[in-house]
Amino acid sequence: MIPNLLSWLIFLPLAGALLILTVPKENKNVIRSIAIGTSGVTLIVSLILWGAFDRAFSGLQFYQAAPWIDLGLVRLNYEIGIDGLSLPLIILTTIVTTLSLFASLNISERVKEFYIWTLVLLTGMLGVFVAQDLFLFFLFFELTLIPMFFIIGIWGGKEKTYAAFKFLVYTGLGSAIMFLSFLGMYYYAFQATGLQMLGGSGFSIPILTQIFAEPAFAEVLTTGVRGALFLGLFVAFAIKLPVFPFHTWLPNAHVEAPTAASMILAGVLLKMGGYGLIRIGVGILPDQASRFALLIAILGVINIIYGALLALVQTDLKRLVAFSSISHMGIVLLGIASFTASGMQGAIFQLVSHGFISALLFFMVGAIYERTKTRTISELGGLSKSVPVLAGFTLAAAMASVGLPGLSGFVSELLAFIGIFGADASILPAAKTLGVIAGIGIILTAAYLLWAMQRTTFGQLDDKYKELSDARPLEYVPMIGLLGFSILIGVYPNILSDVINITVIDILSRIGG
């Protein structure tokens, strides 16, 4: 096994970005090749991790820790590692980013900058999923904001500046709340134990997990303190997920972002919110997470219904897909709030499944827009007659999002709903009622997606769309890749559950401990 494999995974994209810096901006094909090649090698490294991962071990694997910054009272470590929660999201990140680069081949302006920012973004996303130190987590989390801000602001649509700044303000506010919560966790842990008992790093996630689980420190780490810290973390990650009412930045960002950025934004960046909530919120403060289970579930139901209703009335196809993302992230909250093994598995399945499905949907919308120059649903119609391949993949992506059996969306929704209907009433009162209400959102999902497909791909074909070109050879790469992974998870869910099972059991074992 390659030594320090996780460090190679994180910093390979950054090395690729530095290499692109040395290439003259006129050599666009060379720049594109370096970017795709670097992302592809990073994907290979992530697959090596997948193959070498021990599915019977619940702790951190490929763990690395080294002293980093010593400020006396505050010592920071470079601490990284993965488990069954982070590994699937790493695979998702490398796959979606690599395939999104095929959607960026039509970028013709400031090509060099675009690919540099994309590779820096990849380093940030991977760093979030492997960081085992809160300060390191925060740095990587912040590293994802600036590249996406510039990608939307430079290569976006007509309202790109507004969308980019709205994205930065909302997510920046979430980061500030998150950092204050991290400081609070460090402060109270230090008050309870002293620096030496913190093992030299009060930001270490494994160490903080042990400290906050220790009954002997209840005098300092009171229920009120722990509750306030959890709520701070929840709000921070709710902005990123996003959760109503912190969702308003998302539709603008999606609509204005270029196709590749929309794929990454929906496919990976939103998942950082769900990952952070499970890894840090539930992982370190499981008692408080279960205490606020009803709030989490109610917000999940609101997300599902509210997002679906807004999607139902959209006239812009890309905006419809954006609101569908808000709705589907409600299923993540619902699965978490159940605090059952199947529900938590459903939440993680949904993070991965939606990553592939949403990336495919945004790719298909981008491909249609490139040919028709419109995303207005009423102006489309009959595309199955002129571009049958594109129409077919679009319909397949919609079916996956609806939750058609045999596709990944079905597995994630089924697990989440099994979890919510099987939830312990002492943790989640009225769980079955909430599950029934959330089920209405699934019906609405079928309504808005099938209606959108009927209006865009079927019906009368406008004469101006009769000579459209169908899928190009390179477009098959992301289309087949993203749909293929959705089918793989849908027909063989064990490929994912084998990895996440033992980590889910470990997280749930802390409830009430």
Cα 414–chain centre separation:
20
pLDDT in tens, 67-108: 888 776 677 889 999 999 999 999 999 999 999 999 998 888
The pLDDT value given to residue 197: 56
The pLDDT value given to residue 262: 94
- Are 234 and 293 spatial neighbours (Cβ–Cβ below 8 Å)? no
Mean pLDDT is lowest, of 71-85, 104-118, 332-346, 361-375, for 71-85
Contacts of residue 10, Cβ cutoff 8 Å, sequence gap at least 6: 80, 123, 126, 127, 130
Q: What is the DSSP string of 87-106?
A: HHHHHHHHHHHHHHHHTTTT
pLDDT in tens, 466-508: 888 998 999 999 999 999 999 999 999 999 999 999 999 988 8
Give me the mean pLDDT over the 107-134 stretch.
Answer: 95
Which of 283, 277, 297 lies closest to 428 in space, CA to CA?
297
Which of 133, 166, 138, 142 lies closest to 60 in space, CA to CA?
133
Length of the chain as a residue count:
513
Percent of the chain predicted with pLDDT > 90? 76
Q: Is the pLDDT of residue 359 over 70?
A: yes
pLDDT in tens, 218-256: 888 889 999 999 999 999 999 998 998 888 898 899 889
What is the pLDDT confidence band of residue 358, given thresholds at 50, 70 and 90? Answer: very high
Which of 496, 489, 332 lies closest to 406 in space, CA to CA?
489
Residues 432, 330, 161, CA angle at the centre, nearest 5°? 165
Distance CA 314, CA 373 (A): 18
Give me the mean pLDDT over the 356-371 stretch.
Answer: 94
Distance CA 377, CA 302 (A): 26
pLDDT in tens, 13-44: 999 999 999 999 999 999 999 999 999 999 99
Amino acid found at 215: P
Task: Please report, for residues 74, 133, 220, 246, 281, the alpha-carbon distance to residue 228 in angstroms, rounded to integers and kept in the order given.
Answer: 23, 21, 13, 19, 11
Highest averaged pLDDT of the listed ranges 58-62, 124-128, 192-196: 124-128
Element (H, E) at 66: strand 61-70
Amino acid found at 364: M
Mean pLDDT for the chain? Answer: 92
The pLDDT value given to residue 196: 58
Distance CA 188, CA 490 (A): 44
Which of 333, 366, 324 lies closest to 478 in space, CA to CA?
366
H-helix segments, 194-269: 205-212, 223-240, 249-256, 259-264
What is the pLDDT confidence band of residue 512, given thresholds at 50, 70 and 90? Answer: low
Contacts of residue 367, Cβ cutoff 8 Å, sequence gap at least 6: 259, 390, 471, 475
Tokens of 496: 């994912």
Torsion angle defined by CA atoms of residues 74, 75, 76 and 77, in that order, rounded to the nearest 10 degrees? -160
DSSP 257: S
Contacts of residue 109, Cβ cutoff 8 Å, sequence gap at least 6: 155
Report phi then psi at 406, rounded to 5: 95, -10
pLDDT in tens, 314-326: 999 999 999 999 9
Give me the mean pLDDT over the 382-407 stretch.
Answer: 93
Distance CA 299, CA 269 (A): 20
Secondary structure (3-state) at 138:
helix
